[in-house]
Structure 1
Amino acid sequence: MPSFTSSSRTVLVTAALALAIYAAVIALWRPTIHLYPDQDASNLARAERVLIGEGDPHTVILGSSLGVRIPDDWLPAGWLNASLGGKGAATGLALLRASSMRPRRILVETNTFDLGPDLAFVQDAQGPIPLALRTWVPGLRAEYRPINLLLSLAGRARGGAHAHRGSGSLAEACLSLQAQVQGDIVSAEIVGREVARLTARPVPSGLVARMVDWRAALRAEQERGVEVILFEWPVDPEVMRSPRAAAIRTTVAETLPTLRFLRLDGEGLATEDGLHLAPVSARHAACALLHAVGG
């Protein structure tokens, strides 16, 4: 029994020491994490960023997996991309309300305006480690789990779609992108199959009621002094013209006529599946959003 107790104590001390060293390395290094093993891990890290609100971002993007395609380094300093895979902007707004962050401006994606908030996810993102502790010890955050760090380092080493935009300014990167000859390589067969499926989707039921909820929620943000801008990510042209997309667009215009609405130019952009922009096209869309929003 004494040997077993001694062995257990050694394991605990070793584990605590390893955790302390890892936490110290993360605190000093603060690596950029951009790859995750699955969508759930990515969503948890993004939600955590909103709840912690580090750096006091002045502009927050709320949206779905369409916005997840935008690399963080293709957004200006002071911007936070709170897009979540498999969810809509309503979940991002619920996270924002659960946090202490008070941005000056929110950019709200309308492509998935028919989706309500995932409140169970918002609750899960707040635990089990207290947010206050994760705020002061970054190494305890979901974002900096070792598997996420390893995947991100491997992605940077491979380059390609995961390559960093470079050391120049974002404005310079956008100008350079416009002159880029080589675009995205996508499978026409996959895109065609997915476009046929997406264009056949019916108009969401309860869309008007959902828009009424949005009107109340966004009015509340405006009353807090937040500038609200609506925008639509470019997708495949046929999907943009589909009954579902057209119904959402029309209902937004009728229900929220006073809000600024940005419809980004998607001419020449490629998707991988009719919805999600391919890597180079996603960077073009990021630059288009920055240009449309202005200062």
Structure 2
Amino acid sequence: MEVLVNLSIFNFSSNFSKSFIFNIIVVFIVLFTTYTGYIICCKPEITKVQNQWQKNFVVSQRFIYRYLNIPKIILGSSLAARIDQDVLPADVYNLGFSGGSVLTGLELLVRSGAAPKIILIETNVIFNDKDEKMLDRLFAPLIWKIKKTIPSLQAEYQPLNIILSFLYKTGKSTKSEQIKRKIDQNTYTRMLALYKEKYSTIPEPGMIKKNISDLQRLVSIMIQRGTKVVFFEMPIASQLSDSKLSRFVRKTLKCNFNAPNYTFIKSQDLAQYRTTDGIHLTYQSMLLYANELIQNIMFFQ
């Protein structure tokens, strides 16, 4: 009798577990399908994400899934990433990465099969290593193509980002408020001193050789696809623009990219630009430089 009771309890427990798991799966499918439908139909605007690393990932996925055929692309580090996408023409996409590398953007173009008419490569932080981990995540076999069909799987549309974007919109500064925002002089002085020290040294020869070689390889592939390559230098504090590192970068690039396939542009009037820390433009200066860069892009058309 006791055996029968135990067996009955076991069967009940087993059936309950199966039913419970099945119900969870059904609920998940319903919620996931509903959420995916909401993303596809409503296309919520994501203006805020959780951190700068996720922002780099979102910027990359947007390019891969929405802007792959855009004709003009800006590639750069956090300096170029300061240029708001909103102030650029519809046919220009900013693939600048906060804390990142130009090489990451170039590798992304190569792997995605993109063939833009023009790429503008920021030269200020040209020796930074590319982010292999992010690239591998972006192009994980099969998954990266599935995400194009199912946008709710893209990093941009994580529920927390939708909530953050809603909260950000309600408290967002107006353009005029951002223009009037003053520079914190204490922070500026401290950061400029740090960058002066950093810009007084040159990276290890091994790192320079590796990254220049990689840059040549990636740029060569883009030229074979019919892309025009333009190198540009973001405006920074004059003390840094004339530093040992900045002069070395210019010399190295012109020695390795001196063919007629390449064009170099540099802002002639650094005095008109202001930075928050020596290297990152203020909002007003960003608007000013974006206009200068747009004029250059139109010239190269």
TM-score range, shorter chain: 0.7 to 0.9
Give the direction of change, closer, same or farther, for the CA distance of 1:128–1:213 in structure 2 (3 Å limit). closer
The answer for the alignment partner of 1:147 in structure 2 is 160
Q: Distance between the aligned counterparts of 2:154 and 2:141, measured in 1?
A: 11
Q: Distance between the aligned counterparts of 2:57 and 2:178, measured in 1?
A: 36
Question: Which stretches in structure 2 are left out of the alignment for 5+ residues?
Answer: 1-12
Aligned residue identity for 2:293: L
Aligned residue identity for 1:77: A
State the TM-score, normalizing by the size of structure 1. Answer: 0.85
Is residue 192–residue 278 contact of structure 2 (8 Å, CA) maintained in 1?
yes
1:108 is paired with a residue whose SS is strand
Match of 2:265 among 256, 262, 265: 262
Q: Distance between the aligned counterparts of 1:223 and 1:112, measured in 2?
A: 25
Give the direction of change, closer, same or farther, for the CA distance of 1:148–1:283 in structure 2 (3 Å limit). farther
Q: Distance between the aligned counterparts of 2:213 and 2:219, measured in 1?
A: 10
Match of 1:121 among 134, 138, 161: 134
Is residue 212–residue 255 contact of structure 1 (8 Å, CA) maintained in 2?
no
Give the direction of change, closer, same or farther, for the CA distance of 1:23–1:267 in structure 2 (3 Å limit). farther
Give the direction of change, closer, same or farther, for the CA distance of 1:262–1:45 in structure 2 (3 Å limit). same
- What pairs up with 1:120-269 in 2 under 5 angstroms? 120-127=133-140, 130-160=143-173, 182-201=179-198, 202-206=201-205, 207=208, 210-257=211-258, 258=260, 259-264=262-267, 265-269=269-273
Is residue 275–residue 281 contact of structure 2 (8 Å, CA) maintained in 1?
yes
Question: Which moves more between the two structures, 47-56 or 138-147?
Answer: 47-56
Aligned residue identity for 1:284: L
Deviation at 1:97, TM superposition (A): 0.9
Deviation at 1:187, TM superposition (A): 0.7
Is residue 43–residue 84 contact of structure 1 (8 Å, CA) maintained in 2?
yes
> Given the alignment of the two structures, is residue 64 of structure 1 paired with residue 77 of structure 2, yes or no?
yes
Deviation at 1:93, TM superposition (A): 0.5
1:170-199, CA deviations, whole angstroms, 9 ceiling, x for partnerless residues? xxxxxxx9xx99544111111111111111
State percent identity of aligned pairs: 25
Aligned residue identity for 1:242: S
Q: Distance between the aligned counterparts of 1:115 and 1:229, measured in 2?
A: 19
Deviation at 1:92, TM superposition (A): 0.7
Match of 1:289 among 266, 279, 293: 293
Aligned residue identity for 2:167: A
Is residue 46–residue 82 contact of structure 1 (8 Å, CA) maintained in 2?
yes
Q: Distance between the aligned counterparts of 1:181 and 1:120, measured in 2?
A: 34
The answer for the alignment partner of 1:52 in structure 2 is 65
Q: Distance between the aligned counterparts of 1:146 and 1:104, measured in 2?
A: 36
Deviation at 1:129, TM superposition (A): 7.0
1:200 is paired with a residue whose SS is helix
Is residue 107–residue 218 contact of structure 2 (8 Å, CA) maintained in 1?
no
Q: Count how many residue pairs are aligned between Structure 1 and Structure 2.
A: 279
The ranges of structure 1 where at least 4 consecutive aligned residues each deviate by more than 6 angstroms after the TM superposition are none
- What pairs up with 1:21-36 in 2 under 5 angstroms? 21-36=34-49
1:113-154, CA deviations, whole angstroms, 9 ceiling, x for partnerless residues? 112323232112223871221112222211111222222222
Q: Distance between the aligned counterparts of 2:33 and 2:237, measured in 1?
A: 48
Q: Distance between the aligned counterparts of 2:146 and 2:53, measured in 1?
A: 22
Q: Distance between the aligned counterparts of 1:105 and 1:189, measured in 2?
A: 40
Q: Distance between the aligned counterparts of 1:75 and 1:198, measured in 2?
A: 29
Q: Distance between the aligned counterparts of 2:294 and 2:170, measured in 1?
A: 28
Greater fraction helix: 2
1:1-35, CA deviations, whole angstroms, 9 ceiling, x for partnerless residues? 23443333333322222221221121122233232
Q: Distance between the aligned counterparts of 2:24 and 2:275, measured in 1?
A: 49
